[in-house]
């Protein structure tokens, strides 16, 4: 876990002048500047980091967004865009010298086109609200991050959010068609289009997952898919992590792309079972949840194949959801894994590395060793189908030093992921949390390229400064202790 | 090879001479103009890593597409976006650089959707890696998908990791006699239902729809949709995919319009429809402004794909978006060595 980068490059602004200029462009309930008003915005889902912004702007429409950005651009004030504040990497952590731009008032579903299967929405619309609105038409929006009842589509764009079903249906970047974006100088751009691709460079790919560093999204056109008629889930238990890992490889090797393929280890299974009573086998070293969806014919045929592969891979127990209620019960445990772990210890720290699936057993062994070394428990849940791990490091922040200890443990896990050929973040973003580990994953040249891209959008570096991409200066400080990909990081840079 | 490429790029950068990155040259017909000394990627070939259960292949950019596809076929897998094979020499680097996708695109996604990571040399000759070999990766800006479709104007792609998918168990094709308007309506209606559609092609009053998936699902859909089962459909879809179908053979000028799938018949001339209505090919010599305006009115854009007068550009970008393209080109290729003018006269 890193610390937010020093924001020394941007000088402090006369906050009275800033607020009076913002007042001129926003209706009064849309500008919060009193400490008791701005305090609720001090953190996002990563509450270990807190900062209070100079002001919070809550525009009601795109014109107000553009006006706020123009003021901030002219006065050289940092801007941190914020959706629902559910992010787990501190991407929406306020800048103490800046404005937090909350998009929560822009929450209208503007249009649903049932025949073209698209929805045009504002950024503050909740992810699940899109699927709810499309449900009467037999359609839904596929990406389903676990926070989908609360998280906003604008935030999903910023983080390129995934979810349990993204192995089969893709990430946010695969499910959006068009964006309206306001740049830092207040210009409005339309990117993408209502067709499947757009002219010129793929700016949609660049914007998606850019963590609020390139522009502010004010309108999104998403793709809607026909709702599968049926879904059923196979629950399989294994007496070793290796066997469960092999079962995952065998399913995919057999040419099956499950709608969801999730794994939980013994610690996680036990934590969850006490909490939700999903009926999980408690003696298993690992359980797999493997979902099939589609027409009844498709599901029947696929389930049969899934069960055969599980059996051949050494499953000690296989259960098939017999109805929708049981399917939801099987999933309830997986979905409640975080709060269930939260019941066992006062605090937990959720990691988000992704690795090639064949390295699963090796990396899990490494995590278990680290768990012993650090003396902190670490149940594991993961999106096994796409190798995205969520180790949950348990600690007690009231014990002095334990939060820092947990952060160090987390950093070591991320290093294991990089060494295994993976990445430090599969779906939660870098934010402030993993800014240090970015120096391990990328070379200074690659980071410099990111900074050039950023400058093409935002010359003065005002949009969400200090997040997502570390400065080389920061990496030099961080790099004293780390060795990136077998080479010493930044040998040419002076050490501070 | 990387060293050799690096020397070539550095020499070009210091001499201020543009480079034209080229694989098999099967897409030389495309673009505004071709400038520069050819940098041939074909010496840099070979599959670096392929493990079917990972659903990922990592391959050097000069590798022939045919070699990639035959390795995948051995693993029972495929490039799900069905890149058009516009000639025997097509390389995987060219596939990624063009970003072209084939008939399965509306069902499974585009070339860039399947890009997981790239290794590139930039115009300073720096060896950079973005993305990786894993399905989910949100560390840093998504430059790997961004370079897909950039026609060698931003960097030299030396290696690419692609997500691959299992081949469908069964494929069958249904043929219908329908005019354009009815076909657009039917395709959109079907696409809103849970049917295993994987391709559509309409021309000349005939609509062909391909179904792919589990045997049971395909036969259930067949019963539900009606139509005539097409014999020898694999050859038909190969012709559509590789643009050897008679529709593509004749026209001197070919426009490609990517628009709202439900947009009514455009009335611009001889037309073929793909991607459930969202891709319209128009084979006619027309004033560019008229085609761009029609595409824009239908929520999308037009490309002068082949032939015609391309000197003023093949696509139209809004002024703010064009300016951003120029800044990005400048940011990633400050020396301006990579394929200037290939995509647009202004960058």
The ipTM of this complex is: 0.97
Nearest to B320 by CA among A157, A79, A182, A176: A182
| Tens-digit pLDDT profile for residues A376-395 | 999 999 899 999 999 999 99
The second-level CATH assignment, the architecture, of A109-226 is 2-Layer Sandwich (3.30)
The CATH number of A15-102 is 3.30.43.10
**Which DSSP letter does residue A354 get?**
B
pLDDT for the residue A335: 81
CA distance linking residue A57 with residue B46, whole number of Å: 53
CA distance A39 to A26: 20
Q: At residue A286, what are phi and psi to the nearest 5 degrees? A: -155, 145
- Helix (H) or strand (E) holding B223, with range, is helix B215-225
Chain B residues 260-289 within an 8 A CB cutoff of chain A: 260-262, 275, 278-279
Q: Which CATH number fits domain A345-419: 1.10.12.10, 3.30.70.2740, 3.40.50.1100, 3.30.930.10?
A: 3.30.70.2740
CA distance B70 to chain A (A): 17
In chain A, which segments carry CATH 3.30.70.2740?
345-419
Please, what's the b/e burial string for A28-38 (b: 16 or more CB within 10 A of its CB; e: otherwise)?
Answer: eebbbbeeeeb
> For chain A, where do the domains classified as CATH 3.30.465.10 start and end?
109-226
Q: 3-class DSSP state for residue B9?
A: helix
Q: Which of B136, B192, B279 sits opposite A354 (nearest CB)?
A: B136
- pLDDT tens track for A278-308: 889 999 999 999 999 998 988 999 999 999 9
> pLDDT tens-digit profile of A53-95?
999 999 999 999 999 999 999 999 999 999 999 999 999 999 9
A490 pLDDT above the threshold of 50 = no
pTM of the model: 0.95
* Chain B residues near residue A113 by CB distance under 8 angstroms: 262
CA–CA separation, A85 and A100 (whole Å): 11
Domain made up of A230-338: CATH architecture: 2-Layer Sandwich (3.30)
Q: Is B231 on the interface with A (CB under 8 A)?
A: no
Q: Is B315 on the interface with A (CB under 8 A)?
A: yes
Listed in order, the ranges of chain A carrying CATH 3.30.43.10 are 15-102
Contact yes or no for B279 and A196 at CB 8 A: yes
Res A216: pLDDT:
98
Give the DSSP letter string of B114-140.
GEEEEEEE-TT--EEEEE-SSS---SS
Of A115, A249, A449, the CB nearest to B53: A249
Out of A138, A159, A200, closest to residue B138 by CB: A159
**E strand or H helix at A419, and its extent?**
helix A402-419
List B residues 35-64 in contact with A (Cβ-Cβ < 8 A). Answer: 51-56
- Measured between alpha carbons, how far is B38 from B24 in angstroms, rounded to an integer? 11
On the question of pLDDT at B281 being above 90, the answer is yes
How far, rounded to the nearest angstrom, does the alpha carbon of residue A222 sit from its chain's CA centroid? 18
H or E element in which residue B108 lies: helix B105-108
For CA atoms B333, B339, B343, B344, give the dihedral sign.
positive
Judge whether residue A466 has pLDDT over 50: yes
Q: d(Cα A161, Cα A178) in Å, to the nearest integer? A: 16
Distance CA B109, CA A372 (A): 44
SS3 breakdown of chain A: % helix, strand, coil, rounded to 5?
40, 20, 40
Could you tell me if B105 lies within 8 Å of chain A, comparing CB atoms?
yes
Distance of CA A191 to the CA centre of its chain: 22
> Residue A486: is its pLDDT beyond 70?
no
CA distance B218 to B294: 36
Pairing verdict, β A176-182 and B47-51: unpaired
Instruction: Report the distance separating Cα A335 and Cα A351, nearest Å.
Output: 16
- Which tens digits make up the pLDDT trace of B35-47? 999 999 999 999 9
Decide: residue B249, CB within 10 A, 0-12 exposed, 13-18 middle, 19+ buried: exposed
Chain B nearest-CA residue for A256: B166
Percent of chain B with pLDDT over 70: 100
Compare CB distances from A429 to B138, B148, B149 and report the shortest one's residue: B138
Rounded distance between C-alpha atoms, residue A370 and residue A445, angstroms: 31
Going by their DSSP bridges, the two strands A99-102 and A55-57 should be labelled as parallel
């Amino acid at each position: 876990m890193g610390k937010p980068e020093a924001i020394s490059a941007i000088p402090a602004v006369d906050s009275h002048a800033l607020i009076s200029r913002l007042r001129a462009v926003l209706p009064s309930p849309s500008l919060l500047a009193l400490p008791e008003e701005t305090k609720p915005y001090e953190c996002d889902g990563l509450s270990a980091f807190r900062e209070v912004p100079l002001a919070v702007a809550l525009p009601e429409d795109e014109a107000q967004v553009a006006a706020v950005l123009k003021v901030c651009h002219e006065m050289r004030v940092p801007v941190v865009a914020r959706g629902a504040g559910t992010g787990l990497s501190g991407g929406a952590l306020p800048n103490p010298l800046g404005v937090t731009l909350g998009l929560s008032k822009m929450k209208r579903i503007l249009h649903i086109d049932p025949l073209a299967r698209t929805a045009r929405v504002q950024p503050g619309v909740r992810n699940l609200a899109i699927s709810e609105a499309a449900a009467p038409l037999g359609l839904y929006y596929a990406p389903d991050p676990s926070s989908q009842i609360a998280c906003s589509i604008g935030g999903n764009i910023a983080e390129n959010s995934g979810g349990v079903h993204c192995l089969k249906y893709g990430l946010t970047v695969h499910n959006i068609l068009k964006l309206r974006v306001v740049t830092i100088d207040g210009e409005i751009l339309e990117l993408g289009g209502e067709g499947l691709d757009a002219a010129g460079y793929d700016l949609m790919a660049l914007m998606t997952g850019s963590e609020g560093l390139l522009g502010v999204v004010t309108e999104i056109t998403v793709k809607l898919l026909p709702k599968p008629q049926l879904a059923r889930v196979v629950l399989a238990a294994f007496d070793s992590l290796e066997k469960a890992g092999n079962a995952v490889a065998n399913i995919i090797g057999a040419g099956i792309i499950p709608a969801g393929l999730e794994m939980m280890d013994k610690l996680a299974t036990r934590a969850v079972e006490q909490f939700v009573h999903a009926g999980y086998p408690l003696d298993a070293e690992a359980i797999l949840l493997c979902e099939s969806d589609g027409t009844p014919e498709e599901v029947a045929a696929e389930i049969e194949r899934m069960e055969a592969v599980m059996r051949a891979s050494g499953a000690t127990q296989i259960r098939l959801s017999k109805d929708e209620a049981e399917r939801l019960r099987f999933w309830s445990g997986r979905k409640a894994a975080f709060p269930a772990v939260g019941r066992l210890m006062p605090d937990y720290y959720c990691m988000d590395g992704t690795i090639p699936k064949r390295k699963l057993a090796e990396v899990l062994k490494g995590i278990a060793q680290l768990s012993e070394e650090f003396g902190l428990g670490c149940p594991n849940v993961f999106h096994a189908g796409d190798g995205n791990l969520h180790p949950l490091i348990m600690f007690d922040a009231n014990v002095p030093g334990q939060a820092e200890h947990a952060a160090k443990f987390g950093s070591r896990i991320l290093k294991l992921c990089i060494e295994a050929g993976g990445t430090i973040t599969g779906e939660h973003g870098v934010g402030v949390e993993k800014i240090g580990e970015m120096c391990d994953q990328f070379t200074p040249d690659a980071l410099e390229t990111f900074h050039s891209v950023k400058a093409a959008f935002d010359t003065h570096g005002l949009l969400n400064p200090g997040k997502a991409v570390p400065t080389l200066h920061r990496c030099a400080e961080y790099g004293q202790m780390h060795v990136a990909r077998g080479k010493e990081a930044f040998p040419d840079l002076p050490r501070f | 090879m990387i060293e050799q490429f690096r020397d070539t790029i550095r020499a070009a950068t210091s001499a201020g001479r543009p480079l034209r990155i080229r694989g098999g040259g099967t897409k030389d017909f495309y673009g505004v103009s071709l400038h520069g000394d050819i940098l041939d990627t074909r010496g840099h070939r070979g599959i670096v890593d392929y493990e079917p259960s990972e659903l990922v292949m990592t391959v050097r950019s000069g590798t022939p597409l045919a070699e990639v596809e035959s390795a995948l076929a051995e693993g029972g897998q495929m490039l799900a976006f069905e890149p058009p094979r516009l000639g025997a020499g097509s390389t995987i680097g060219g596939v990624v650089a063009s970003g072209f996708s084939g008939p399965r695109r509306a069902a499974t996604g585009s070339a860039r959707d399947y890009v997981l990571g790239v290794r590139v040399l930039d115009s300073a000759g720096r060896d950079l890696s973005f993305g990786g070999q894993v399905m989910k990766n949100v560390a840093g800006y998504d430059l790997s998908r961004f370079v897909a479709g950039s026609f060698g104007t931003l960097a030299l792609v030396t290696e690419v990791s692609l997500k691959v998918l299992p081949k469908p168990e069964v494929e069958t094709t249904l043929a219908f006699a329908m005019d354009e308007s009815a076909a657009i309506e039917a395709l959109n209606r079907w696409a809103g239902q849970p049917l295993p559609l994987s391709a559509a092609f309409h021309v000349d009053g005939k609509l062909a729809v391909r179904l792919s998936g589990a045997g049971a699902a395909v036969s259930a859909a067949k019963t539900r949709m009606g139509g005539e089962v097409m014999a020898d459909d694999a050859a038909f879809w190969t012709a559509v995919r590789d643009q050897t179908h008679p529709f593509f053979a004749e026209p001197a000028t070919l426009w490609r319009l990517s628009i709202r799938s439900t947009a009514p018949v455009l009335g611009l001339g001889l037309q073929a429809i793909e991607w459930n209505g969202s891709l319209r090919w128009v084979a006619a010599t027309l004033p560019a402004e008229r085609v761009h305006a029609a595409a824009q009115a239908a929520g999308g854009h037009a490309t002068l794909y082949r032939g015609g007068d391309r000197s003023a550009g093949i696509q139209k970008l809004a002024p703010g978006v064009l300016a951003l393209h120029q800044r990005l080109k400048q940011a990633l290729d400050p020396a301006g060595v990579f394929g200037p003018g290939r995509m647009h006269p202004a960058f």
